Amino acid sequence: MSRLDIHHIYSGKVRDLYEVDEEHLLMVASDRLSAFDVVMDEPVPGKGRVLTGLTHFWVREFADAVPASLVACDPAVIDEFVDGFMEEVDWHGRTMLVRRAQMLPLECIVRGRLAGQAYDEYMVKGTVHNMSVRAGLQLTDPFDAPMFTPSTKEASGHDINIDLASAADIVGTEALFEAQRLCIDLFTLAAVSFAEVGLVLADTKFELGYVNGRLVVCDEVLTPDSSRIWPADQVHSGETPPSFDKQPFRDWLTAQPWDRTPPPPRVPDEIIAITSSRYVAAYERVTGHTLSDWYGA
């Protein structure tokens, strides 16, 4: 519970949102771990700081090319907007001061490689989000070009994968074109940066919104929670590579006799430790800095 005099707006599976003023919000990333829309009882140490630190890194990395809602992660800067924040040390390194945005009602997914739900659909129908794709692809194979594959934002239950025509019906052709261009540009830039440190960006999800009439990137950006990231030297066509995310946890959970409704099973300490190390490794490999250098250490 925070001692700050700010209004709590919303709590998601991972993030908590607070009102700062008419123009700004605080977005606080917790260490909560979720699967199948259920939050586990055991947190993953360092996870919230990794998500925040990586988002800060990518937003600053491509600030000239891709606009974003992020204002600051520096506790001293946030303290100028939220009196007393410097004393709220538990929030340091996991908090983003962001501009309010009118959110685009789409999940904006860009896929560079065949994996996940796209692979499942492709194996059955030969399509991805009901869109035509070259035949003969295997798991992890690259598409001819990065694909913009949107999905709906459902108030409850799972989001629904849709094609571009269906997305245009929701947001309009002009907004869809702008979202597609922004997301593919960012994905393309990021994929090059990942490759320079020996990583493959297979796919990622962006949240977009309008700030003063301009479409910008919101929420987390290119993190292990929103992206599928693989070590390049372990990617082989048709095989499942290791990933810098919560895959060890997913694999363990899939093997449990659990019906995917609360309460969740207890996650063993060793699974939490492995998952935490994956998140930290992703941050340090991408940024070139240790997590102990980031705020809140």
For the segment 155-165, what is each residue's pLDDT rounded down to a tens digit? 776 789 999 99
Find out whether 216 and 101 touch, Cβ atoms under 8 Å: yes
* Per-residue pLDDT, 2: 63
SS3 of 24-55: the string is EEEEEECCCCEECCEECCCCCCCHHHHHHHHH
Alpha-carbon distance of 209 to 132, in angstroms, equals 28
Residues in the chain: 297
Pick the CATH number of 103-244 from 3.20.20.70, 3.40.50.12280, 3.30.70.100, 3.30.470.20: 3.30.470.20
* Per-residue pLDDT, 154: 83
* Per-residue pLDDT, 5: 85
Mark the ranges of the chain whose per-residue pLDDT is less than 70. 1-2, 157
* Per-residue pLDDT, 165: 97
* Per-residue pLDDT, 158: 78
* Per-residue pLDDT, 159: 87
* Per-residue pLDDT, 246: 85
The values of phi and psi at residue 24, to 5°, are -130, 155
* Per-residue pLDDT, 33: 95
